[in-house]
Structure 1
């Protein structure tokens, strides 16, 4: 049954802090897209755990963000590619902030290599460990706890490259394609109370982009509908939507935030 106009208007007006009362864990949260998501979630009313391999960077952001928002923001050191560290991370966050309601699997790596035949086993395993194994283990543990408590949200940060792989990033894009598959599987396993979705991120002007050839990127971008790379803050709207109350009927979804790259020829 549809809500009355009055009820619908009230629901929208009340949504000024869509994550109020929630606790969110953001991996890879000290820089890039993870940093923007952590900032947005605290601004939206959530207590936030910022995790990465470098605790000092997490602590610097946590201190600044807590002062700016008044929310509890904690810093955690963890390598999500290490199976045992994932469970310890979740336990540590829940000890300091309480049960995790929102999990953002953002940590990822995409090391370069000269050619496909020179990809080492170590590089291949490292890429899959961080981009697939870590999110699998963390979602399995956090999702089970969320379901037991009555609900929660998982957001995976994947790549539009999972649908447009190239020889230059094949281990990474293959790993992100696997992450897309995990999204569907976990949405089925932990539904109906836990929602699991993915953002297919396009090229963003994060610190990683400093190594890109600007002329080559500009030439490629001319064929994209928006003809440019994204600014990091432009990930925020999709993340808040998928983790907030207005996406209550959205799970197992892959949402492209890529300037139209996947829509381009």
Structure 2
């Protein structure tokens, strides 16, 4: 589509499918090399093929909260493609549905660990290995659940609210050489979000002024913009990508 990311390397966590893969596809289309992560090596191999093969993409399997995995990904990105200019913290989990009063606190801790603490770890390590000296841009994938209450997935929303706050704090700390922004999608048609719309998509979409649920490419376009020089004077911002849902749709 363009060459605005030519000569740049992006690391995208949780990118074997869904929003992460769509972001990887958009960045490759705009000239970037990408290193994608995920837990399943076979799914990553399929994604690398879809992205154009090993000349364009590298897949590294592992758990996003594993510090050794993080180190390996960053090292391999620099060794393979020469840099680690862009980071997208896309990995997120939401393993429970129900009220906070019944939430297993061990699960709550795991949600925060994966959705927030690990994202901070990726920023720290990428900063130490590359961005601190060379600059870069970071996008955290948050959620509208971090902006307004979302009954049933409250801990997920709370973790995304924390991620949004971390985005602003990191933007203050890392400027001017590194920009840090976030995207906050509403319901996007992915396997991850399928429980929120499967079997009742038309009903759910009725709450959206634009009349449909999101597609991964909708989020990918916003993320690519924030990573690019088109957003050179933006940092610490959370861009809501929600088809108008938060303008007044049902919670």
Q: TM-score, normalised by structure 2?
A: 0.91
Other-structure match for 1:58:
44
Residue correspondence of structure 1 range 249-264 to structure 2 within 5 A: 249-264=233-248
Distance 1:178 1:253 in 2: 14
Identify which of 144, 160, 166 aligns with 1:176. 160
Shift of 1:72: 2.5
Cα RMSD (Å): 2.0
Partner of 1:97: 81
Mapped to 1, the partners of 2:52 and 2:177 lie a distance apart of 30
Which of the numbers 28, 34, 42 marks the counterpart of 2:20? 34
Q: What residue number does 1:235 align with? A: 219
Residues 24 and 213 (structure 1), Cα distance of their counterparts in 2 relative to 1, 3 Å cut? closer
Distance, in Å, in 1 between the alignment partners of 2:25 and 2:36 is 10
Verify the 8 A CA contact 2:64 2:118 in the aligned structure 1.
Answer: yes
Residue pair 1:81, 1:126 contacting (<8 A) in 2 also: no
**Alignment pair present for 1:86 and 2:83:** no
Which residue of the partner structure matches residue 137 of structure 1?
A: 121
1:189-239 CA distances to partner (integer Å, 9 max, x unpaired)?
A: 111010100001111111234333446553343232213211121122211
Distance 1:66 1:196 in 2: 28
Distance 1:128 1:196 in 2: 20
The count of aligned residue pairs is 249
**Aligned counterpart for 2:231 among listed residues 197, 222, 247:** 247
What CA distance in whole angstroms lies between the structure 1 residues aligned with 2:170 and 2:151?
Answer: 29
Q: Report the structure, 1 or 2, having the larger helix content.
A: 1
- Corresponding residue number in structure 2 for 1:17: 3
1:63-119 deviation digits (Å, cap 9, x = unpaired) = 23224xx84210101211234432333223323322200000001111123432332
Structure 2 SS opposite 1:16: coil
- 1:114/1:249 Cα in 2 relative to 1: closer, same or farther (>3 Å)? closer
**Structure 1 pair 38/205, CA: closer, same or farther in 2 (3 Å)?**
same
TM-score w.r.t. structure 1 length? 0.87
Greater gyration radius: 1
Q: Which moved more, 1:174-183 or 1:224-233?
A: 224-233
- The alpha-carbon deviation at position 19 of structure 1 amounts to 0.7
Q: Which residue is 1:9 aligned to?
A: none
Q: Any stretches of 5+ residues in structure 2 without a counterpart?
A: none
Deviation at 1:264, TM superposition (A): 1.7
Q: Hey, what's the Cα distance between the residues in 1 that align with 2:131 and 2:194?
A: 41
Q: Which residue of 131, 140, 147 corresponds with 1:156?
A: 140
For residues 23-57 of structure 1, the C-alpha deviation after alignment (integer angstroms, 9 at most, x for no partner) is 00110110110010011111111111010111221
The answer (yes or no) to whether the contact 2:2–2:29 under 8 Å persists in 1 is no
Tell me whether 1:44 sits opposite 2:53 in the alignment: no
Whether the aligned pair in 1 keeps the contact of 2:98 and 2:151 (CA below 8 Å) is no
Where do 5+ consecutive residues of structure 1 fail to align? 1-14
Listed one character per residue, the Cα deviations across residues 128-153 of structure 1 (whole Å, up to 9, x for unaligned) are 11100110010112134444333101
